[in-house]
Amino acid sequence: MSATPGAWTAASGRRGHTVLAVPVPALDDWVRRRTAHHDASFVSVDPDFCHAHVTVLAPWVAEPDEERMERVAGLVGAVSTFELVLERVGVFPDGLLHLVPEDDGPLRRLGRVLTAAFPETPPYGGRHADPVPHLTLEQTAAGVDAEWVRASLGTLLPVRHTVDRVDLQWWANDDCRLLRTFPLAAVPAPASPRGTVDA
């Protein structure tokens, strides 16, 4: 149940798409189960792959080369880690149920930086000029609505997550996996008050 529609056949013959995403491990078991319910071919056997994520830019280039990945590493590495809080369940006009970030500013800025660096791969293939950051949960259906999702998530909410990396993921039937991780810049710890010594 990828939040990134669209696929193509790469030069290597692989059919799928790349996603630059912020992983949210606290929700991965839940999203993994719902993914299996809809289409088990999108359940990854890669232990480092995080199904629960907020898309930053996708679909990205089909076969990223080292030069492009180093550009991403530099851009992401210039962004400081930030806090992500997810609690409110939202519904898009197409019925997509998702979690809404309490403050989506840092995610929007990160997405705009990467979009500007790679204008040849606009977000969602150009269908959304300014996409809304979200974590995909479900599709509205009989017996599945925002109330059902909230009840199913239960005590998993709210999610409080320190965003410290962007993952490059490959999404394809029977081949979802992590390709690379790009760390954000660590925020320096506050200096100890003068005259004190840390234990």
**Structurally, how many domains does the chain consist of?**
1
Segments forming the whole domain that contains residue 95: 15-183
Asked if the structure places residue 197 within a domain, the reply is: no
Interval 95-110: pLDDT, tens: 999 999 999 999 999 9
Gap between the Cα atoms of 163 and 57, Å rounded: 16
Whether residue 60 lies inside any domain: the answer is: yes
What is the percent of the chain where pLDDT is above 90?
A: 84
Within a domain: residue 127? yes
pLDDT of residue 193: 62
> Has residue 72 been placed in a domain?
yes
Please say if the pLDDT value at position 115 is more than 80.
Answer: yes
- Of residues 129 and 179, more confidently modeled: 179
Q: Between residues 127 and 166, which one has the greater pLDDT?
A: 166
What rounded mean pLDDT belongs to the chain? 91
Structural contact between residues 57 and 123, judged by C-beta atoms closer than 8 angstroms: yes
Question: Which class for 184: exposed (0-12), middle (13-18), buried (19 or more C-beta within 10 A)?
Answer: buried
**pLDDT, tens digit, 9 for 90 and up, residues 60-99:** 999 999 999 999 999 999 999 999 999 999 999 999 999 9
Residue 2 has what pLDDT?
38
In a domain, 5, yes or no: no
- Residue 129 domain-assigned (yes or no): yes
CA angle 12, 14, 18 (to 5 degrees): 105
- Do the domain assignments include residue 87? yes
* The predicted structure's pLDDT at residue 4: 36
Please tell me the pTM assigned to this model.
0.88
Q: How far is CA 145 from the centre of its chain?
A: 22
Indicate whether 195 belongs to any domain.
no
- Confidence class for position 137, pLDDT limits 50, 70, 90: very high
Residue 112 sits in a domain whose CATH number is 3.90.1140.10
Helix (H) or strand (E) holding 151: helix 146-153
